[in-house]
Amino acid sequence: MRNFRIWRGDASSGALEDYQVEVNEGEVVLDVLHRLQATQTPDLACRWNCKAGKCGSCSVEINGMPKLACMTRMSTFTADETITVTPLRTFPVIRDLVTDVSYNYVKAREMPAFSPPPDLAPGEYRMQQVDVERSQEFRKCIECFLCQNVCHVVRDHEENKLAFAGPRLFIRAAELDMHPLDARTDRKEHTRDRQGVGYCNITKCCTEVCPEHIKITDNAIIPMKERVVDRRYDPLVWLGRKIFRRDQVEQQAAAEDTTPAPASPETVTHRASPGQVNWAQEIQVPPAPAVGPDGRFAMSEVLIDRAGAPSPFGDDVTFPVDPEQLRYLHPRTDED
């Protein structure tokens, strides 16, 4: 006989109840729950389906660790150990071990679907094998939502659910952003603004509990956060937006008046001689950040508040650039 302590109750109240149940060799926790339903407590509610670790239905917390009941062997516990089974803590309890995980499906519906190029018909999609393998890992997700349950951003802060999608949706966003045939260009902005990827602080709890051993943090969240940062906060990318490519400079020179305009006291202006390319770049001087009494920044991190942009050199340029392709257009000086 083995000792079990199982949470019984509903959304209004509940408590842990003790049971003693027979356990046979080779069984898993889900087998014991079924035996309890058959012999002692037929009204015990638990969700399950395949009993093979592929449907993700039987997610519970066993001794405080989020696990699949059908994949947790009884042989991993000592004979005198009391095994505690509780519902997933992050989600509202419906009854006993069954929780309401609809939050995850609401967030999934907010995710923009795969958008293939409009000029390709079904059956005409072509991908390199390396691109297939790159996102294949994320396709192994069985939506057990153990990663969602263990993520402290929503586990400890119910109010964050409105702004935070969670690890399961982050791997989906990363997969689509890596997809060579996805035509959407706003995946990074959506992940930052609508899914709250900035809330994640890389504790890797989601990776530790994943039954499919998906490297959620290393292969999905961290690369996605890096791409978001490159577009949003990288000061070099912001500076690149201020540097015109040659064709843009020529178009601006033909379209704009080269007559200098008076500069405001809050503007730093650089201008060329009359008749040449208008190199006037009026750059607003950013306000000085507030400092504390000790003369230091009050913030632990200072981020530039300007959106990023594509490379100023063009998306079709590879590096290093051939010297013969380099073209420079400099303003004339009086010495010329």
Per-residue model confidence as pLDDT tens digits over 260-287: 554 444 444 444 444 444 444 444 555 6
Question: Which domains are present in the chain?
Answer: 2-98 (3.10.20.30), 102-232 (1.10.1060.10), 245-336 (no CATH)
Statement: residue 4 has pLDDT above 50:
yes
pLDDT digits (tens, 9 = 90+) for 68-96: 999 999 999 999 999 999 999 999 999 99
> Which among 82, 90, 50 has a CA at the least distance from the CA of 66?
90
Query: Is residue 179 within 8 Å of residue 131, measured between CB atoms?
Result: yes
> Which among 36, 91, 12 has a CA at the least distance from the CA of 59?
91
The HSE-up count of residue 27 (CA atoms within 13 Å, CB side) is 13
Model pLDDT, residue 144: 96
Torsions phi, psi of 186, nearest 5? -110, 25
CA 293 to centroid of chain Cα atoms? 37
How sure is the predictor about 25, in pLDDT bands with cuts at 50, 70 and 90?
Answer: very high
SS3 at position 213:
coil
The DSSP code sequence of 131-160 is HHHHHHGGGG-----HHHHH-HHHHS-GGG
Strands annotated E in 43-180:
59-62, 65-68, 83-86, 93-95, 98-99
Q: Encode 138-158: b = buried (16+ Cβ within 10 Å), e = exposed.
A: beebbbbbbbbbbbebbbeee
How sure is the predictor about 215, in pLDDT bands with cuts at 50, 70 and 90?
Answer: very high
Which residue is associated with the tokens 């073209």? 327
Report the alpha-carbon distance of residue 327 to residue 321 in Å, rounded.
Answer: 11
pLDDT average, residue stretch 65-69: 95
Non-local CB neighbours of 164 within 8 Å, separated by 6+ positions: 153, 154, 195, 196, 199
pLDDT digits (tens, 9 = 90+) for 137-178: 999 999 999 999 999 999 999 999 999 999 999 999 999 998
Report the alpha-carbon distance of residue 156 to residue 158 in Å, rounded.
Answer: 6
How sure is the predictor about 23, in pLDDT bands with cuts at 50, 70 and 90?
Answer: very high
